[in-house]
């Protein structure tokens, strides 16, 4: 994964979020305040602008800029969560120009750990951490990342939030009434990972 792959990753994510912003907002209307699609779209529009304007040397530089966009433009719970995930992911990349699979695994773990720390989230609490945690486990299963497997496990983890009761975030106020609805942040995190898989599965990472 080089800096161009990192740019393509985020631009692909931006397109997915843009075309799903109403869907994400509907999901957030059921368990939260209905702003997740709007928040994410605003941050990613800004991030895409920055990625088009500036040049970057390394994947870490790209993710740093994306982190800043999330923190400054997204707001809500998801802004700081995605912002710290991207910041820690960037830190994990260091100054490397190219990331090997081992580095990509470390990057994903750093992002997952950041979400867990920032959200004080544990597995099974119906948050985006459920997806991050599944992504890391799936990526680490094979020496060379099996992206098809990662995609499958990511989708399963996002779908599994439907039957969970929310213990963190706004959805927790609903108690048992949160059961039966997908967690919006888990669905957007699934899109982030699908974009990464699309960029990396075709060639060498």
Ligand X SMILES: Nc1ncnc2c1ncn2[C@@H]1O[C@H](COP(=O)(O)OP(=O)(O)O)[C@@H](O)[C@H]1O
Tokens, residue 13: 């994510």
**Taking a C-beta distance cutoff of 8 angstroms, is the pair 67, 86 a contact?**
yes
Q: How far is the CB of 62 from ligand X (least distance, A)?
A: 22
Nearer to Mg ion, 35 or 125 (CB): 35
Q: Residue 59 touches which of ligand X, Mg ion, none (CB < 5 to 8 A by kind)?
A: none
Least CB distance from residue 55 to ligand X, whole Å? 30
Residue of 35, 113, 125, 133 that binds Mg ion (CB under 5 A): 35
For residue 39, which of 30, 47, 49 has the smallest C-alpha distance?
47
- Residue 183 within binding range of Mg ion, rule CB under 5 A: no
The CB-of-127 to Mg ion minimum distance in angstroms stands at 12
With respect to ligand X, which residue has the nearer C-beta, 60 or 184? 184
Could you tell me if 137 and 187 are in contact, meaning their C-beta atoms sit under 8 angstroms apart? no
Nearer to ligand X, 59 or 185 (CB): 185
Q: Which residues bind ligand X (CB under 6 A)?
A: 28, 32-33, 35-36, 39, 76-78, 81, 115, 119-121, 127-129, 168-170, 183-186
Find out whether 150 and 141 touch, Cβ atoms under 8 Å.
no
DSSP 3-state helix, strand, coil percentages of the chain (rounded to 5)? 75, 0, 25
Q: Give the nearer residue to ligand X in terms of CB position, either 12 or 78.
A: 78
Instruction: Sort 30 into a burial class: Cβ within 10 Å, 0-12 / 13-18 / 19+.
Output: middle
Residue closer to Mg ion (CB basis): 30 or 50: 30
What is the token pair recorded at 98?
């190219």
Q: Per CB under 5 A, does 204 bind Mg ion?
A: no
- For helices 147-160 and 184-201, the axis angle rounded to 10 degrees is 170
Binding residues for Mg ion (CB under 5 A): 28, 32-33, 35-36
């Amino acid at each position: 994964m080089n800096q161009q792959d990192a740019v393509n990753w985020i631009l692909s994510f931006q397109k997915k979020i843009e075309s799903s912003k109403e869907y994400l907002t509907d999901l957030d209307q059921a368990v939260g305040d209905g702003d997740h699609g709007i928040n994410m779209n605003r941050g990613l529009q800004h991030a895409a602008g920055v990625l088009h304007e500036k040049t970057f040397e390394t994947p870490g530089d790209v993710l740093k800029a994306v982190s800043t966009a999330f923190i400054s433009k997204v707001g809500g719970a998801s802004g700081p969560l995605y912002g710290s995930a991207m910041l820690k992911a960037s830190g994990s990349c260091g100054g490397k120009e190219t990331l090997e699979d081992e580095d990509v695994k470390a990057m994903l773990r750093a992002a997952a750990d950041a979400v867990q720390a920032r959200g004080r989230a544990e597995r099974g609490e119906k948050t985006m951490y459920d997806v991050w945690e599944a992504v890391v486990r799936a990526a680490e299963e094979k020496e060379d990342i099996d992206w098809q497997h990662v995609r499958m496990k990511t989708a399963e983890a996002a779908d599994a939030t439907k039957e969970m009761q929310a213990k963190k975030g706004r959805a927790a106020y609903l108690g048992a009434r949160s059961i039966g609805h997908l967690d919006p942040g888990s669905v957007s995190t699934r899109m982030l990972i699908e974009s990464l898989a699309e960029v990396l599965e075709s060639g060498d990472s």
